[in-house]
């Protein structure tokens, strides 16, 4: 999925910087509601960022240009 999502949805810096074909999702062992999303950079540098998601409505994104915290508020079931 991410092979198609990243280049289309993130055509700017992120889509060009990471190798979407090596994108991986790691599910938390102690708490499976946590997932970490990782993608290696195309240029061979060590780190591009980490994207964490806590089910169902919270994520934190840390990347070279900054960070973001997101919270979603469902409108209905």
The H or E element spanning position 27 is strand 24-27
Enumerate residues 6+ apart whose C-beta is below 8 A from 74: 56, 57
Model confidence over 55-74: pLDDT tens digits? 888 888 887 778 889 998 88
Is the pLDDT at 77 greater than 80? The verdict is no
| Helix, strand or coil, per DSSP, at residue 56 | coil
Give pLDDT, residue 48. Answer: 65
> pLDDT tens digits, residue range 2-44?
556 666 666 667 667 778 788 888 888 888 888 887 878 888 7
Is pTM, for the whole model, over 0.75?
A: no
């Amino acid at each position: 999925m991410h092979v198609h999502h990243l280049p289309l949805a993130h055509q700017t810096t992120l889509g060009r910087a990471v190798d979407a074909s090596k994108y991986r999702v790691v599910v938390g062992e102690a708490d499976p509601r946590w997932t970490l999303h990782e993608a290696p950079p195309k240029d061979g540098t060590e780190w591009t960022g980490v994207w964490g998601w806590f089910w169902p409505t919270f994520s934190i994104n840390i990347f070279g240009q900054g960070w973001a915290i997101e919270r979603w508020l469902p409108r209905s079931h």
